[in-house]
Structures are given as structure tokens and as C-alpha cells.
Structure 1
Amino acid sequence: MKVALFPGSFDPVTKAHVDIVKRSVSLFDKLYIGIGVNSNKQGFLTISQREQMLRAVFEHEPKIHVIAYEGLTVDFCKSISAGYMIRGIRTVSDFEYEKAIAQMNHALAPDIESIFIVSKPGYSSISSTIVREILRHQGDVSQFIPTEALEYL
């Protein structure tokens, strides 16, 4: 069985995230969306809100499972028997950052492959960080967020 993990903070989930998930789900038997918990960071949304939001967005896709985790992502991959890690690439700087992480992950867990999915051009400028900033200033984020996620904001 081919199992993959798409890790991230998803604070909040964006249309760019959804695009990466939809384009990668057909490659695997099971795709986990892993919400990384960083106890040193204060999130915009709670972990519970992010889990509920992601489940609402992907409720009609039986191959997708949403779960929060702590610790090293490669250790979490092992715990769910994921042999693949999906990462979205929007820009050249994303690639450099993700490449470094993939190389470190490979050193820690050579049996887990990192797979990069390049963002569609229309989504390359969308990031959770920018969406949070718009939200903090009471701006309209509906064009950047899946409809199912709006009620959680």
C-alpha cells in the first residue's frame, strides 16, 4: 500500500494547499494531511479548528485522513507507515528550503521519499502567512480559502 504524508501547519488551509492535495491524492492509496504541532509557536487557529477545517474541506475524499502530530516529521511518517512525504513548491526559495529539509530527512530516514509538487501559477502567491495578515486586518480572504474553510475563520 502506498501511503503519503502532506505535512504543514495549515493555519489556515488555502486553495494552494487544496490544489496540492487534489493533485497528489490519486498517486497514493492513503494520504495523510498532518498538522504539525509546534509548542513554541502560537497559532492563529487552534489545532482542533485546523483539524475540523481540513476534515470539512476533504470530507468527500475517503483516501484522505487528517491528523495532528508532534515531533520529527520523519518519525511521524514511520508511525503511520508513510513511505512518501508530499511538499508543495511555490517559488525558487521554497525549493531551496524544501530541498534542504528533504536532504536532512533522507539522512534521518532514507526509506522515506520526498515528492515535490509544483504549485499552479495562479496559486504561487497564496500563503497561510499572507492570509493570516489579511485576516488580522479584517480583509476578505474568500478568494484564497476553500469555501468549506471560511466558517472556521
Structure 2
Amino acid sequence: MAAQPSRIVAIYPGSFDPITNGHLDLIARGSRLVDRFIVAILRNEAKKPLFSVEERIEMLKEVVRPYPNVEVGAFGGLLVDYAAERGANLILRGIRAISDYEYELQMALMNRRLRPEIETAFLMASEAYSFISAHLVKEVASLGGNVSGLVPPSVEARLKGRCQQRGA
């Protein structure tokens, strides 16, 4: 009898503050490659997030609804520990530029040292989204710029509202 292929459970970590169309593109592409895909929001209040973890979970759940194998969660502490708790055997990271690769390579090597059974894979950003970062989106929005096309429409509405609140 042939061995059953093992299930691939990927975890895609980030702050997602806010989720961008670049993130969503990676989720759409990555979720087609695996059996289960977990979007994991890092709890890091030191970063002074624009949206609370709960708000980010809500926004993410809304935009990933079309992808049946995608789940959303949040974690604090080491990513590899959370990945192991959730049964993930793959960490998926997006790469926009060579500068991303240098940082991500260091993280992947440390994660391998901590949990050698969990692999890391990189997906190149789609060209249309290679310049987008959550930081830049927040900066443009805070200065009253147009962020349509950079974030999902539901996120755009919340982002505009939050920036108006902060500016008042």
C-alpha cells in the first residue's frame, strides 16, 4: 500500500496593520499550494498598531472568506512555537525585494534552528504589489492620500475612518 502524502499546513505571519492587497495576493496564491493556510497576526503592542489585534482579525476574516482553507489567528511569542501548536509544518513569507530576502533568510535560519521540522518557503510578490507595504499605506492614508487599489475596499473604509479619528 502506498504511503499517504502528508498534509501541508502553512502559516503566514505578519502584523497586517492594515492588510494590503499585497498580503491578500499572497494569501490567495499561497492557499492554493497547501491543505490548510493559517494567517497569524503577531501581537506586538510595542509597534503601536493603528488597529487592535481584534480589529485586524475581523478585517482579515472578512477578506479571506472566499478561501475555504484559510484560517485567521493571533499569537505572541515565538512564531515556530505557535506554528507547532497549530500543526503547521511550513512558514510562508513574501519577498518584495532583495532587502526582504536578507532579513527573511536570517529569520528562516533561526526558525530552523529552533524547530528543524518546520520549513520556510518564500513567495515572490506579484509585480503589481511589489512596492506596497502596510507602513506606506498607513502613511499615505494619514496624509489624506488615495489608498484605493492598495487595500481591499472594506479595509480602505476602516483606514480612512481611523485616520480621520486620529486627525480630529
TM-score surpassing 0.5? Answer: yes
Structure 1 spans left out of the alignment, 5+ residues: none
Q: Which has the larger radius of gyration?
A: 2
**Contact 1:7/1:34, CA 8 A, preserved across alignment:** yes
Give 1:55-134 correspondences, 5 Å limit. Answer: 55-134=61-140
Q: Give the alignment partner of residue 32 of structure 2, picking from 23, 26, 30.
A: 26
Amino acid at match of 1:11: D
CA RMSD of aligned residues (A): 1.0
- Percent identical among aligned pairs is 37
- Aligned-partner Cα distance in 2 for 1:39–1:14: 20
- Aligned-partner Cα distance in 2 for 1:31–1:10: 16
Q: Does 1:41 align with 2:86?
A: no
Give the deviation of 1:60 after TM superposition: 2.0
Q: TM-score, normalised by structure 1?
A: 0.96
Task: Count the aligned residue pairs.
Answer: 153
**Contact 1:25/1:63, CA 8 A, preserved across alignment:** yes
Q: Which runs of 4+ in 1 moved over 3 A?
A: none
Q: TM-score, normalised by structure 2?
A: 0.88
Which is bigger in relative contact order (C-alpha 8 A, separation at least 6)? Answer: 1
Structure 2 spans left out of the alignment, 5+ residues: 1-6, 160-168
**Contact 1:49/1:152, CA 8 A, preserved across alignment:** no
Give the deviation of 1:59 after TM superposition: 1.1
Q: Does 1:149 align with 2:158?
A: no
- Aligned-partner Cα distance in 2 for 1:152–1:70: 25
Give the deviation of 1:150 after TM superposition: 2.1
**Contact 1:84/1:112, CA 8 A, preserved across alignment:** yes
**Contact 1:56/1:149, CA 8 A, preserved across alignment:** no
